[in-house]
Amino acid sequence: MAAAAPEVIISVRDLVNRFGPQTVHDGVSFDVHAGEVFGIVGGSGSGKSVLLKTMLGLRKPDSGVVEVEGRDITCMSDRELREVKRRYGVTFQHGALFTSLTVTENVILPMVEMLELDETTLQSLAELRLRMVGLSVEAGAKFPAQLSGGMTKRAALARALALDPALLFLDEPTAGLDPIAATAFDDLVLYLRRALGLTVVMVTHDLDTLARTCDRVAVLVDGKVIVDTLPGIVRNEHPWIREYFHGARGRLMAPAGEGEVRGA
Protein backbone atom coordinates (compact mmCIF):
# COMPACT_ATOMS: atom_id res chain seq x y z
CA MET A 1 0.00 0.00 0.00
CA ALA A 2 1.34 3.41 -0.97
CA ALA A 3 2.15 5.80 1.85
CA ALA A 4 -0.34 8.60 2.38
CA ALA A 5 0.70 11.94 0.92
CA PRO A 6 1.93 14.36 3.58
CA GLU A 7 -0.47 17.06 4.69
CA VAL A 8 0.37 20.40 3.08
CA ILE A 9 0.33 23.36 5.48
CA ILE A 10 1.75 26.01 3.13
CA SER A 11 1.48 25.89 -0.65
CA VAL A 12 3.35 28.41 -2.81
CA ARG A 13 2.48 28.37 -6.50
CA ASP A 14 4.01 30.32 -9.40
CA LEU A 15 5.15 33.11 -7.10
CA VAL A 16 6.55 36.23 -8.75
CA ASN A 17 8.06 39.15 -6.84
CA ARG A 18 9.54 42.14 -8.63
CA PHE A 19 11.24 45.36 -7.61
CA GLY A 20 11.11 47.65 -10.61
CA PRO A 21 12.90 45.89 -13.48
CA GLN A 22 14.40 43.26 -11.17
CA THR A 23 12.57 39.94 -10.84
CA VAL A 24 13.51 38.34 -7.52
CA HIS A 25 11.19 35.33 -7.73
CA ASP A 26 10.23 34.04 -11.17
CA GLY A 27 7.55 31.37 -10.75
CA VAL A 28 8.60 29.87 -7.40
CA SER A 29 6.55 26.84 -6.29
CA PHE A 30 6.86 24.50 -3.31
CA ASP A 31 4.91 22.97 -0.41
CA VAL A 32 5.62 22.88 3.32
CA HIS A 33 4.40 19.68 5.00
CA ALA A 34 2.77 19.38 8.40
CA GLY A 35 5.20 18.73 11.24
CA GLU A 36 8.41 19.29 9.30
CA VAL A 37 11.25 21.74 9.77
CA PHE A 38 11.62 23.43 6.38
CA GLY A 39 14.80 25.40 5.74
CA ILE A 40 15.24 28.25 3.25
CA VAL A 41 18.70 29.26 2.02
CA GLY A 42 20.10 31.38 -0.78
CA GLY A 43 22.73 33.92 -1.63
CA SER A 44 22.53 37.66 -1.02
CA GLY A 45 19.79 39.15 -3.17
CA SER A 46 18.09 35.80 -3.77
CA GLY A 47 14.95 37.02 -2.00
CA LYS A 48 14.89 34.99 1.21
CA SER A 49 13.45 37.83 3.28
CA VAL A 50 11.02 38.79 0.51
CA LEU A 51 9.81 35.20 0.33
CA LEU A 52 9.35 35.06 4.09
CA LYS A 53 7.37 38.32 4.10
CA THR A 54 5.18 37.02 1.29
CA MET A 55 4.50 33.78 3.16
CA LEU A 56 3.60 35.83 6.25
CA GLY A 57 1.16 37.99 4.32
CA LEU A 58 3.30 41.09 4.89
CA ARG A 59 3.92 41.55 1.15
CA LYS A 60 1.51 41.00 -1.73
CA PRO A 61 3.26 39.23 -4.63
CA ASP A 62 3.15 40.52 -8.19
CA SER A 63 1.52 37.23 -9.13
CA GLY A 64 1.08 33.73 -7.81
CA VAL A 65 -0.66 32.16 -4.84
CA VAL A 66 0.33 31.49 -1.22
CA GLU A 67 -2.06 29.20 0.64
CA VAL A 68 -1.78 28.74 4.41
CA GLU A 69 -3.81 25.78 5.68
CA GLY A 70 -5.75 25.81 2.41
CA ARG A 71 -6.57 29.55 2.40
CA ASP A 72 -5.13 31.93 -0.18
CA ILE A 73 -3.63 34.79 1.82
CA THR A 74 -2.72 36.88 -1.23
CA CYS A 75 -6.30 38.06 -1.75
CA MET A 76 -7.49 38.36 1.85
CA SER A 77 -8.87 41.43 3.55
CA ASP A 78 -7.01 42.81 6.57
CA ARG A 79 -9.60 41.23 8.87
CA GLU A 80 -9.23 37.80 7.26
CA LEU A 81 -5.45 38.03 7.32
CA ARG A 82 -5.53 38.95 10.98
CA GLU A 83 -7.26 35.64 11.72
CA VAL A 84 -4.62 33.72 9.78
CA LYS A 85 -1.85 35.51 11.67
CA ARG A 86 -3.20 34.11 14.92
CA ARG A 87 -2.17 30.69 13.62
CA TYR A 88 1.52 31.46 13.32
CA GLY A 89 4.39 32.86 15.36
CA VAL A 90 7.46 34.67 14.06
CA THR A 91 10.94 35.45 15.34
CA PHE A 92 13.15 37.96 13.55
CA GLN A 93 16.94 37.92 13.23
CA HIS A 94 17.66 40.46 15.96
CA GLY A 95 14.77 39.51 18.24
CA ALA A 96 12.69 42.66 17.55
CA LEU A 97 11.72 42.86 21.22
CA PHE A 98 10.27 46.14 22.47
CA THR A 99 13.11 47.67 24.48
CA SER A 100 10.81 49.63 26.79
CA LEU A 101 8.96 46.48 27.90
CA THR A 102 10.19 43.66 30.11
CA VAL A 103 10.54 40.20 28.62
CA THR A 104 7.26 39.12 30.24
CA GLU A 105 5.49 42.20 28.91
CA ASN A 106 6.83 41.42 25.43
CA VAL A 107 5.39 37.91 25.66
CA ILE A 108 2.05 39.19 26.94
CA LEU A 109 1.67 41.80 24.18
CA PRO A 110 0.30 39.47 21.43
CA MET A 111 -2.17 38.00 23.91
CA VAL A 112 -3.43 41.44 24.89
CA GLU A 113 -3.98 42.29 21.23
CA MET A 114 -5.70 39.04 20.28
CA LEU A 115 -7.30 37.57 23.42
CA GLU A 116 -9.65 38.80 26.11
CA LEU A 117 -8.05 37.55 29.30
CA ASP A 118 -7.58 38.95 32.78
CA GLU A 119 -4.17 40.10 34.01
CA THR A 120 -3.57 37.06 36.22
CA THR A 121 -4.21 34.65 33.35
CA LEU A 122 -1.99 36.66 31.00
CA GLN A 123 0.82 36.60 33.53
CA SER A 124 0.48 32.83 34.06
CA LEU A 125 0.47 32.13 30.32
CA ALA A 126 3.53 34.32 29.79
CA GLU A 127 5.42 32.51 32.55
CA LEU A 128 4.48 29.18 30.97
CA ARG A 129 5.84 30.30 27.59
CA LEU A 130 9.07 31.46 29.25
CA ARG A 131 9.53 28.09 30.96
CA MET A 132 8.88 26.34 27.64
CA VAL A 133 11.90 28.06 26.10
CA GLY A 134 14.15 27.61 29.12
CA LEU A 135 13.84 31.08 30.70
CA SER A 136 13.07 31.76 34.36
CA VAL A 137 10.48 34.09 35.83
CA GLU A 138 13.42 36.23 36.95
CA ALA A 139 14.54 36.57 33.34
CA GLY A 140 11.02 37.67 32.48
CA ALA A 141 11.43 40.69 34.74
CA LYS A 142 14.47 41.92 32.79
CA PHE A 143 14.52 44.34 29.88
CA PRO A 144 15.89 43.22 26.49
CA ALA A 145 19.09 45.24 26.95
CA GLN A 146 19.89 43.12 30.02
CA LEU A 147 19.78 39.82 28.12
CA SER A 148 22.55 37.82 26.47
CA GLY A 149 22.23 36.96 22.78
CA GLY A 150 20.96 33.48 23.53
CA MET A 151 18.42 34.74 26.06
CA THR A 152 17.18 37.33 23.55
CA LYS A 153 16.57 34.57 21.00
CA ARG A 154 14.67 32.54 23.58
CA ALA A 155 12.61 35.54 24.70
CA ALA A 156 11.64 36.24 21.08
CA LEU A 157 10.70 32.58 20.70
CA ALA A 158 8.53 32.73 23.82
CA ARG A 159 6.69 35.71 22.33
CA ALA A 160 6.26 33.86 19.02
CA LEU A 161 4.61 31.01 20.96
CA ALA A 162 2.29 33.34 22.89
CA LEU A 163 -0.84 32.50 20.89
CA ASP A 164 -0.15 28.74 20.73
CA PRO A 165 0.56 28.75 16.97
CA ALA A 166 0.49 25.79 14.61
CA LEU A 167 3.18 27.38 12.44
CA LEU A 168 6.49 28.88 13.51
CA PHE A 169 8.60 31.11 11.23
CA LEU A 170 12.22 31.69 12.26
CA ASP A 171 14.43 34.28 10.55
CA GLU A 172 18.13 33.47 11.08
CA PRO A 173 17.42 31.91 14.50
CA THR A 174 21.06 31.18 15.42
CA ALA A 175 22.71 34.24 13.88
CA GLY A 176 25.19 35.82 16.30
CA LEU A 177 25.22 32.88 18.71
CA ASP A 178 28.33 30.96 19.69
CA PRO A 179 28.38 27.26 18.66
CA ILE A 180 27.25 26.02 22.10
CA ALA A 181 24.32 28.44 22.30
CA ALA A 182 23.40 27.74 18.65
CA THR A 183 23.32 23.99 19.27
CA ALA A 184 21.17 24.50 22.37
CA PHE A 185 18.75 26.63 20.36
CA ASP A 186 18.59 23.99 17.59
CA ASP A 187 17.75 21.36 20.22
CA LEU A 188 15.06 23.65 21.66
CA VAL A 189 13.42 24.07 18.24
CA LEU A 190 13.35 20.31 17.72
CA TYR A 191 11.94 19.76 21.22
CA LEU A 192 9.17 22.32 20.67
CA ARG A 193 8.38 20.84 17.27
CA ARG A 194 7.81 17.45 18.88
CA ALA A 195 6.10 18.69 22.06
CA LEU A 196 3.74 21.18 20.41
CA GLY A 197 3.26 19.55 17.02
CA LEU A 198 4.67 22.59 15.25
CA THR A 199 5.48 23.07 11.60
CA VAL A 200 8.64 25.19 11.38
CA VAL A 201 9.87 27.33 8.48
CA MET A 202 13.30 28.84 8.97
CA VAL A 203 15.58 31.09 6.95
CA THR A 204 19.17 30.37 7.93
CA HIS A 205 22.76 30.60 6.74
CA ASP A 206 23.91 28.21 9.47
CA LEU A 207 25.00 24.97 7.82
CA ASP A 208 25.07 23.14 11.14
CA THR A 209 21.50 24.23 11.91
CA LEU A 210 20.41 22.97 8.48
CA ALA A 211 22.06 19.62 9.12
CA ARG A 212 20.73 19.27 12.67
CA THR A 213 17.16 20.44 12.30
CA CYS A 214 15.79 20.53 8.74
CA ASP A 215 13.78 17.74 7.14
CA ARG A 216 13.88 19.48 3.75
CA VAL A 217 15.66 22.51 2.35
CA ALA A 218 14.58 25.05 -0.27
CA VAL A 219 17.44 26.75 -2.12
CA LEU A 220 16.66 30.02 -3.92
CA VAL A 221 18.80 30.29 -7.06
CA ASP A 222 18.33 32.11 -10.37
CA GLY A 223 14.87 33.34 -9.34
CA LYS A 224 13.69 29.74 -8.91
CA VAL A 225 13.68 27.25 -6.06
CA ILE A 226 15.17 23.78 -5.64
CA VAL A 227 13.62 21.72 -2.81
CA ASP A 228 14.96 18.42 -1.50
CA THR A 229 16.22 16.70 1.62
CA LEU A 230 19.62 17.97 2.71
CA PRO A 231 21.45 14.93 1.28
CA GLY A 232 19.63 15.48 -2.01
CA ILE A 233 20.52 19.17 -2.04
CA VAL A 234 24.18 18.39 -1.32
CA ARG A 235 24.29 16.08 -4.36
CA ASN A 236 22.79 18.74 -6.65
CA GLU A 237 25.22 19.93 -9.32
CA HIS A 238 24.07 23.57 -9.48
CA PRO A 239 27.24 25.74 -9.22
CA TRP A 240 25.96 27.90 -6.34
CA ILE A 241 24.85 24.85 -4.37
CA ARG A 242 28.21 23.18 -4.97
CA GLU A 243 30.04 26.29 -3.75
CA TYR A 244 27.76 26.79 -0.73
CA PHE A 245 27.66 23.22 0.56
CA HIS A 246 31.08 22.01 -0.58
CA GLY A 247 33.11 25.14 0.11
CA ALA A 248 35.40 25.63 3.08
CA ARG A 249 32.58 25.93 5.62
CA GLY A 250 30.83 22.82 4.34
CA ARG A 251 34.06 20.80 4.44
CA LEU A 252 34.69 21.86 8.04
CA MET A 253 31.39 20.24 9.02
CA ALA A 254 32.15 16.89 7.40
CA PRO A 255 34.11 13.97 8.85
CA ALA A 256 37.70 13.83 7.66
CA GLY A 257 38.04 12.85 4.01
CA GLU A 258 34.38 13.20 3.04
CA GLY A 259 34.39 16.85 1.97
CA GLU A 260 30.60 17.09 2.23
CA VAL A 261 28.10 18.44 4.69
CA ARG A 262 27.34 15.99 7.47
CA GLY A 263 24.29 13.91 6.66
CA ALA A 264 24.98 13.77 2.91
The domains of the chain are located at 90-164
pLDDT score of 159 more than 90: yes
Average pLDDT over residues 2-27: 90
Question: What are the pLDDT digits (tens) for 16-59?
Answer: 999 989 999 999 999 999 999 999 999 988 999 999 999 999 99
Annotate 195-214 with b (16+ C-beta within 10 A) or e (fewer): eeebbbbbbbbbbbbbbbbb
Residue 95's pLDDT is 63
Residue 17 or residue 251, greater confidence: 17
Residue 86's pLDDT is 84
CB 117 within 8 A of CB 109: no
Nearest alpha-carbon partner for 224 in 245, 207, 202, 240: 240
